[in-house]
Amino acid sequence: MILPLRRYFEIGGRSRRQEYWMFTLFSFLVGVVTTVVDRGLGFDWGSTGPVNALVNLALFVPGITVAIRRLHDTDRSAWWLLLVFLPIIGWIWLFVLYVTEGTRGPNRFGPDPKDPHGTLDIDRVFS
């Protein structure tokens, strides 16, 4: 869940689906907790409190970098992230890319995160 925090500014390489979605879950849960804390401090439900705002700001960069690495795992460049600016169609397409299995074996962005040393014999597994 917190691996993207350790890889804060690292845009090179690849990230598995599990890493991306666990970080997304982590971000959501932290957002819920910080919202509750802000409400406990007396901030209105219609606005973002300072605790939530600071945490969202801190999680913004690792969220972008893990999304880029996730696209790299599907052998796509980071430019595909610009689909976020296309309402609905772009968001759906990005979602599809994020749930798609990554390319097996090394690709132009690095080794397979499921098998970083290339020791998995694909033919043996699927025969």
Angle (deg, nearest 10), helices 50-73 and 17-40: 170
Give the pLDDT confidence of 102-119 residue by residue, as tens digits. Answer: 999 889 999 988 877 766
Q: Of 45, 38, 1, give the one whose Cα is nearest residue 21.
A: 1
pTM of this structure: 0.83
Q: How far apart are the first and last CA of the chain?
A: 33
DSSP 3-state percent helix, strand, coil across the chain (nearest 5): 60, 0, 40
Give the pLDDT confidence of 30-88 residue by residue, as tens digits. Answer: 999 999 999 988 887 677 889 999 999 999 999 999 999 999 999 999 999 999 999 99
Please tell me the distance from the alpha carbon of residue 55 to that of residue 45, in angstroms, as a whole number.
17
Per-residue b/e over 76-85, b at no fewer than 16 CB within 10 Å? Answer: beeebbebee
